[in-house]
Amino acid sequence: MFKLDSRYYKLETKTYTDHDGRVISYKKRRLVPNGEEMLIMAKVSVQKNERLDLVTNRTLGDPEHFWRICDANNAIEPAELTEQAESLLNIPIPQPE
């Protein structure tokens, strides 16, 4: 269901049986880490009109890992991280999930 490097891959799969007897599988909730407690490998400046996936590809080598940068900057909404050019972003040291 999820790729091995997904933030959801290792989360426990739970089941729920509804009133009609259907069994519904779901992943347990992911607890977002506190960005201040994460190990930071770099701080980078956002370029004008640069999207977060481009920053992520440039710094972590995989645009799908944008959530790591969101976690390191305590951001719930990814777009807010690149709204202003020249803002500094914490780039975390990738940790296995």
The mean per-residue pLDDT over the stretch 4-21 comes to: 91
- Phi/psi-derived region of residue 70, left when phi > 0, alpha when psi is between -120 and 50, beta in every other case: alpha
Position 60 pLDDT exceeds 70: yes
Listed by start position, the domains of the chain span 33-92
pLDDT digits (tens, 9 = 90+) for 19-40: 999 999 999 998 888 999 999 9
The mean per-residue pLDDT over the stretch 72-81 comes to: 94
pLDDT given at position 41: 96
Which 8-state DSSP code applies to residue 83? Answer: S
